[in-house]
C-alpha cells in the first residue's frame, strides 16, 4: 500500500476536520453528491486500518469516494448502492479511461456539436413528467442536442465519462435551486432573470474532469480494480464469505424523506439519462427506512429505545419512521459480517441527527447493533463538519428553506470483527 506523506503524529495532531483540505482532487471533482465522504478521511482510514489489506468494501458507496481512494492506495474495491446515479458516478470515478484518448474524444465531440448546431439539427428532448416545469425551453433544446451528440459521437467504452459531465450540466441548467439537494424550484420572481448556459457548463465540466482523470490515472495503482453493483444491501452482497479486509463507508443518516434525499437529488438526471419515471422517483422509498415493514433483524439497542421513547412522546408516527431506519440498517449486518474476514475492520462515518428535538446517538446505536452481530468497538474519532460543507443541514418538514442545524459533527466509528 502506498504511504501517506504525513507522519502518524502529524495526522493525530491535525485531527479529522480537514477544514481547509482540497476535497476535489483526482476524480473526486467529477460531480457533487449529497453527504459525500471527505477523501482525506477515507485515505486515512485505509492507511490506518488497511495495512496489508487487499479488498475494501463500501456497502453504501454513493459517488464512490472510498473506492477511488482504495485504488490510489493499491487496494481492490467493491461498492454497492441502491441509486443508479450513484453507481454511474462510482463506476466512472474509478474507471481506467485513458486521458489522452478521452481528450481526443472531447475534441471530436465538440466538432460534432458545432456541426449539429450549424446544420440546425434539433434532436427530440425526452418526455418525462414535468420536464417543462424543471427546464426552460432553451435548456431543454440544448441538453437534448448534447445528449444526442454524446450518444452518436462517443463509443460506449468511455461514454460514461461524458455522461457524468452531462449530468452536472443537467443539474446546473435546470430550474432547481442549486443550494438544495432536494428538488426545489427557483422562485418564479427570479426565474425570468435566470439564463441556463448549457454548452459553456458542459465544456467547463469536461475540462475540469479531464484534469481530475489525468491526476487519477497517473496515481492509481494500475493492477487494482473496482466493481460497483446497483443493489439493495438488504438483498445481500455478491461476494464470497470472509473475503473483505476493510469496510470504509458512510451509511445514510436516516430515512431519505426527512434527511438527505439521494433520490430527489438524482431524479432529473436519471430522467435525462433515459430511466423511467418510476425508477427515478422511487429511490428514496426503496432506500433504508423508506417504507414501514415488519421487523426482520433481531438486535438490541438500549440507546435507540431511549431516543424512540422521547420522540414518541412528541410524535408516535415519527418514532415509528425512525425505528424503521434502524431496523433496516440492522438487516444489513448479517451480510456485512459474513463477507468480512475474522479480525477485519469496519469504519463507519455517521452523524447524530435530531428528530422532534431529540438527539439520536447513531454512533452509539451503531456500536450496539454491531455488537449483536459479532463486532467489537475499537474507537470513535470525531470530526467537525466545516461550514463550507453543510449539506447535512436538512429540511425536517420538507419545506424549502426550513433548515434544522442537525449535524455539525461526524463520528467515525471503528469496529473489528471478532475472530
Ligand atoms: C451517505 S451516502 C454515501 C456517500 C458516499 N460515501 C460518497 O462519498 O459519495 C449513503 C448512500 O447509501 C445509499 N443507500 C441507501 N439505502 C441503501 C440500500 N438499502 N442499499 C444500498 N445503498 C443504499 C444511498 O443511495 C446513498 O448513496
pTM above 0.75, yes or no: yes
pLDDT tier at 406, thresholds 50, 70, 90: low
Residue owning the nearest CA to atom 25 of ligand 1: 83
Which residues 6+ apart lie within 8 Å of 187 measured at CB? none
Q: Which CATH superfamily is domain 8-86+224-260+289-417 in?
A: Vaccinia Virus protein VP39 (3.40.50.150)
What is the whole-number distance in angstroms between the Cα of residue 252 and the centre of ligand 1?
6
Helices within 188-261 (DSSP H only): 188-191, 198-219
- For residue 404, pLDDT over 60 is answered with no
Which of 60, 64, 70, 385 is the best mutation target for the ligand 1 pocket, counting ligand atoms within 8 Å of the beta carbon and taking the most?
Answer: 60
Do 93 and 64 contact (CB within 8 A), yes or no? yes
Which of 82, 267, 331, 351 is the best mutation target for the ligand 1 pocket, counting ligand atoms within 8 Å of the beta carbon and taking the most?
Answer: 82
Q: What is the mean pLDDT of residues 215-228?
A: 98
What is the whole-number distance in angstroms between the Cα of residue 132 and the centre of ligand 1?
29
User: Where in the sequence of the chain do the CATH 3.40.50.150 domains occur?
Assistant: 8-86+224-260+289-417
326 Cβ below 6 A of ligand 1:
no
Residue owning the nearest CA to atom 26 of ligand 1: 62
What is d(CA 410, CA 63) in angstroms, rounded to the nearest whole number? 19
pLDDT tier at 1, thresholds 50, 70, 90: low
3-state secondary structure (DSSP) of residue 415: strand
Looking at residue 12, its pLDDT comes to 65
Looking at residue 397, its pLDDT comes to 39
Query: pLDDT tens digits for 176-208?
Result: 988 888 888 998 888 888 999 999 999 999 999
Q: Which three cell numbers stand for residue 115?
A: 456541426
Query: pLDDT tens digits for 34-89?
Result: 999 999 999 999 999 999 999 999 999 999 999 999 999 999 999 999 999 999 99
Task: Give the containing element (helix H, strand E) for 91.
Answer: helix 84-94
Q: What phi and psi values does residue 417 have, to the nearest 5 degrees?
A: -75, 130
Between these two residues, 296 and 362, which has the higher pLDDT value? Answer: 362
Nearest in space to 282 (alpha carbons), one of 251, 250, 253, 256: 256
Query: pLDDT tens digits for 334-388?
Result: 999 999 999 999 999 999 999 999 999 999 999 999 999 999 999 999 999 875 4
38 Cβ below 6 A of ligand 1:
no
**Beta strand extents in 353-408 (DSSP E only):** 354-355, 358-359, 375-384
Looking at residue 188, its pLDDT comes to 87
| Closest atom, ligand 1, to C-alpha of 234 | 19
3-state secondary structure (DSSP) of residue 244: strand
252 Cβ below 6 A of ligand 1:
yes
Nearest in space to 81 (alpha carbons), one of 296, 314, 332: 332
Q: Which three cell numbers stand for residue 47?
A: 492507511
Measure Cα distances from 353 to 58, 62, 294 in Å. 22, 20, 24
Measure Cα distances from 67 to 96, 262, 265 in Å. 13, 19, 21
416 Cβ below 6 A of ligand 1:
no
Do 255 and 286 contact (CB within 8 A), yes or no? no
- For residue 398, pLDDT over 90 is answered with no
Check residue 16 and report its DSSP letter.
Answer: S
pLDDT tier at 401, thresholds 50, 70, 90: very low
Residue owning the nearest CA to atom 7 of ligand 1: 36
Query: pLDDT tens digits for 377-388?
Result: 999 999 998 754
Looking at residue 395, its pLDDT comes to 43
Q: What is the mean pLDDT of residues 258-274?
A: 90
Average pLDDT, the chain: 91
Looking at residue 295, its pLDDT comes to 74
234 Cβ below 6 A of ligand 1:
yes
248 Cβ below 6 A of ligand 1:
no
Looking at residue 389, its pLDDT comes to 41
87 Cβ below 6 A of ligand 1:
no
pLDDT tier at 229, thresholds 50, 70, 90: very high
What is d(CA 332, CA 325) in angstroms, rounded to the nearest whole number? 11
What is the whole-number distance in angstroms between the Cα of residue 151 and the centre of ligand 1?
28
CA angle 260–262–265, rounded 5-degree value = 105
pLDDT tier at 2, thresholds 50, 70, 90: low
Q: What is the mean pLDDT of residues 248-273?
A: 89
Do 109 and 150 contact (CB within 8 A), yes or no? yes
Which residues 6+ apart lie within 8 Å of 39 measured at CB? 23, 25, 26, 28, 65, 68, 69
Amino acid at each position: 500500500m502506498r504511504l501517506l506523506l504525513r507522519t502518524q503524529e502529524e495526522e493525530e495532531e491535525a485531527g479529522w476536520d480537514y477544514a481547509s483540505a482540497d476535497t476535489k482532487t483526482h476524480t473526486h471533482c467529477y460531480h457533487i453528491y449529497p453527504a459525500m465522504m471527505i477523501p482525506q478521511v477515507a485515505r486515512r482510514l485505509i492507511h490506518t486500518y488497511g495495512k496489508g489489506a487487499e479488498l475494501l468494501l463500501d456497502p453504501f458507496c454513493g459517488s464512490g469516494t472510498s473506492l477511488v481512494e482504495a485504488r490510489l492506495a493499491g487496494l481492490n474495491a467493491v461498492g454497492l448502492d441502491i441509486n443508479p446515479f450513484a453507481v454511474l458516478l462510482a463506476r466512472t470515478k474509478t474507471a481506467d479511461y485513458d486521458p489522452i484518448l478521452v481528450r481526443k474524444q472531447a475534441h471530436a465531440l465538440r466538432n460534432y456539436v458545432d456541426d449539429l448546431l450549424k446544420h440546425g439539427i434539433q434532436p427530440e428532448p425526452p418526455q418525462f413528467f414535468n420536464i417543462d416545469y424543471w427546464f426552460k425551453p432553451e435548456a431543454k433544446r440544448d441538453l437534448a442536442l448534447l445528449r444526442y451528440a454524446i450518444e452518436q459521437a462517443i463509443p460506449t467504452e468511455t461514454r460514461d465519462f461524458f455522461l457524468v459531465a452531462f449530468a452536472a450540466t443537467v443539474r446546473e441548467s435546470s430550474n432547481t435551486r442549486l443550494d438544495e439537494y432536494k428538488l426545489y424550484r427557483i422562485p418564479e420572481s427570479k426565474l425570468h432573470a435566470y439564463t441556463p448556459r448549457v454548452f459553456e457548463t458542459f465544456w467547463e465540466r469536461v475540462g475540469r474532469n479531464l484534469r481530475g482523470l489525468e491526476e487519477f490515472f497517473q496515481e492509481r495503482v494500475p493492477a487494482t480494480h473496482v466493481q460497483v453493483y446497483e443493489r439493495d444491501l438488504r438483498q445481500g452482497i455478491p461476494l464470497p464469505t470472509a473475503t473483505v479486509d476493510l469496510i470504509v463507508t458512510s451509511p445514510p443518516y436516516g430515512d431519505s424523506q426527512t434527511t438527505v434525499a439521494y433520490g430527489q437529488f438524482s431524479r432529473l438526471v436519471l430522467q435525462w439519462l433515459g430511466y423511467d419515471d418510476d425508477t427515478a422517483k422511487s429511490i428514496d422509498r426503496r432506500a433504508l427506512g423508506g417504507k414501514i415493514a415488519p421487523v426482520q433483524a433481531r438486535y438490541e439497542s438500549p440507546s435507540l429505545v431511549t431516543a424512540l421513547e422521547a420522540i414518541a412522546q412528541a410524535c408516535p408516527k415519527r418514532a415509528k419512521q425512525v425505528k424503521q431506519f434502524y431496523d433496516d440498517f440492522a438487516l444489513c449486518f448479517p451480510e456485512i459480517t459474513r463477507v468480512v474476514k475474522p479480525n477485519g475492520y469496519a469504519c463507519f462515518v455517521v452523524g447524530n441527527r435530531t428528530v422532534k428535538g431529540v438527539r439520536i446517538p447513531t454512533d452509539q446505536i451503531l456500536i450496539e447493533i454491531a455488537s449483536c452481530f459479532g463486532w467489537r468497538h475499537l474507537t470513535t474519532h470525531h470530526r467537525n463538519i466545516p461550514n463550507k460543507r453543510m449539506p447535512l443541514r436538512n429540511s425536517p418538514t420538507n419545506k424549502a428553506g426550513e433548515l434544522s442545524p442537525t449535524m455539525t459533527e461526524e463520528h467515525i466509528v471503528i469496529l473489528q470483527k471478532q475472530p
